[in-house]
Amino acid sequence: MTSPPRTAVRMALAGGLLALAGCSQAPKPVATAPDVDWPFYGGDAGGQRYSTAAQITPANVTGLKVAWTYSTGELVRHAKDIKHASFENTPILAGGRLYVCSQFDAVSAVDPATGKPLWSYDPGVDPKVRYPNDFSCRGVTYWRDPLVADNVRCSERVYVGTVDRRLIALDAATGAPCAGFGKAGVVDIGAGVVLEHKGQMQMTSPPVVAKDTLIVGSSLDDNQRVREITGAVRAYDVRTGAAKWSFDPLGSAAPGTVAGAANTWAPLSVDVARGLVFIPTSSPSPDFYGAQRRGPDGQANSVVALDASTGRLVWSFQTTHHDIWDYDVPAQPTLGDVAFGGRMTPAVIQGTKQGLIFTLARETGKPVIPVDERPVPQGGAPGEVLSPTQPFPRLPRALGPATISPDSAYGIGPIGKSACRKLIAGARFGGMYTPPSTQGTLIYPFTGGGVNWGGLAFDAGRQVVYVNTSNAVHKVTLIPADKVKATQRAEMGKEVSPQAGAPYGMKREVLLSPLGLPCNPPPWGQLHAIDMRTGKVLWEVPLGTTRDLAPGSQFLLHNTGTPNFGGPIATRSGLVFIGAAMDNDLRAFDAATGRELWRGRLPAGGQATPMTYVWKGRQYVVIAAGGHAKTDTRRGDTVIAFALPGPLM
């Protein structure tokens, strides 16, 4: 229902902004390139994370230097609270301005060439409220009103959704709230929703616009109760903020079902020409026990296509049946024309936490690449009725292992390996989809694993998907309801949740060795390339090093990769840029081979998706470097732009 749980790994990071060492001679001239925007969170409305920018190439990428930096100021304003924050923002470039949202939902417009601030707006969220997904803002949304003349206030708008459930419309030129939207520029999407605590519901992903409709999801607290609030997606008039429709993914669930949530916390996508909005839904509540919600759970854990103007269900495809593993659909559905089997099909490409990639026809939801229903482990907790099968695409293969045994335990030295062997042997595991148990069940891939909110990049010309994955093991233990409070007291600091209304609470923990390393074999993070003509994996490489997890460890641990949060982008010149890993680096890979070509040092964790644009002839690659609360990477508030430093010609 939310982004991945906190890991036990803690990182000590070195500060300072460092560029790669360059030669002493004057920079070579750079050929002027046509200007290219990045007007949406995912690059385009369909989330392809692809740019036609081609000034930076595999041949010259090693020349990248820091062009400018911009500080949002949050490191000073929220010094006491930034440990609870994650700088997940991907800026957008539209209308001649670069727009950024900070961890605490402050929105800034900056000059694309210099990073100089043009205006800023702080919604003033209360830092004392604690949210399950921490303080984060993945992006903002730009909209130009075609019915209003240029230079009229709010003819261009920027929309931001805040952690305290406000949908705010700002004038793109000045940052002033648009008075005609909602109440003084603000719509409360939580109006009428009864919350048990202030942090129960938040917004972390940007809204989307489909013609005159503004559509938003929400992020809800995991594992707290059976009777959770609705996970409805809501739509508003883009000009006035008047409510238009809402869609509850559980509205078609079996009569008498007791459940809530199945919310959409990841970004949405829009097919403007077809008038469709695509929403990735999460699991019903609670995550790890589903006896009170028997059946397939409506449109939970699904890719859902809605008529954007009415909210009418057009089709849905469920990626996990009757989810009791927290296997949300965690990433923006990516829209692109796929040439699988020699036939071009408008498609939706969807990555999952299980490391699976589903390819669906955009108009019908039917699989473009065949999907098989395969038998999965049974024997759930008392009262549980599991689905006998789960869907698996035939291609591509799963992007990571799904089996583990005591013999495959990983650890440094005999003590580390022995400890991990005992942890694995002591838990229940019969393969992917083994149900949670009081003994403790291994969830592998883990609930923050496979593909997460960073999504994927799709180069439609090359017909290649680029996607990063994480690989670790969770142990989930069901706790009898009358023992939950005692377990919480005895295991303070661990994730123990009540699942109130169910006969069991739960404890979730990452399986780690005494040194804090994952018990499963590396790589713990990878970047993959998939040929969508054939469904074959072209290459995969480890992503990230442990040098900022434990300085010096990279000399002992080679090619391990790290868990990662954030996604890749691809460019026409044949480059893939990605941060995401649990070190302070932005990387560029050769799109054809997976070879790492360049690495730019960041002042804090880069657990965000980068973006790129060309402004006045020069291409920039930009990433938010501010760390992440769930990985405890170094915090900061800096947006960094890299570019080739030579004079334009």
Question: Cβ of 292: how many Cβ atoms within 10 Å?
Answer: 19
Sign of the Cα pseudo-torsion (504, 510, 513, 516, in order): negative
Question: Active site includes 326?
Answer: yes
Identity at 509, one-letter amino acid code: E
Give the C-alpha separation, 314 to 262, whole Å: 18
Bridge-based pairing state of the strands 618-625 and 611-615: antiparallel
> Both tokens of residue 567?
């996604």
Asked if 602 and 536 touch (Cβ cutoff 8 Å), the reply is no
**Parallel, antiparallel, or unpaired: how do β-strands 536-542 and 525-531 relate?**
antiparallel
- The pairing of beta strand 389-393 with beta strand 441-443: unpaired
Q: Locate 77 and state its tokens.
A: 């304003």
Q: State the Cα–Cα distance between residues 262 and 41, nearest whole angstrom.
A: 23
**For residues 291 and 256, what is the distance between their CA atoms, to the nearest angstrom?**
12
Instruction: Check if the beta carbon of residue 164 is closer than 8 Å to that of residue 198.
Output: yes
Q: Residue 265 and residue 280: Cα distance in Å, rounded?
A: 8
Instruction: Cis check for the bond before 286: say yes or no (omega within 30 of 0).
Output: yes
3-state secondary structure of 301: coil
Which two three-digit tokens encode residue 523? 């790589």
Instruction: State whether residue 544 is helix, strand or coil.
Output: coil
Cα angle, residue 589 at apex, residues 585 and 592 outer, rounded to 5°: 170
Look at the chain and count its residues.
649
* Cα-to-chain-centroid distance, residue 127: 23
Task: Please tell me whether the peptide bond between 523 and the residue prior to it is cis, using omega within 30 degrees of 0.
Answer: yes
Q: For residue 419, what is the enclosing H or E element?
A: helix 413-425
How far is the C-alpha of 470 from the C-alpha of 452, rounded, in Å? 8
Contacting residues for 202 by C-beta, under 8 A, at least 6 apart: 131, 132, 133, 162, 163, 164, 165, 218, 219
Active-site pick, 326, 459, 585, 637:
326
CB of 526 within 8 A of CB of 540?
A: yes
Residues designated as active site: 326
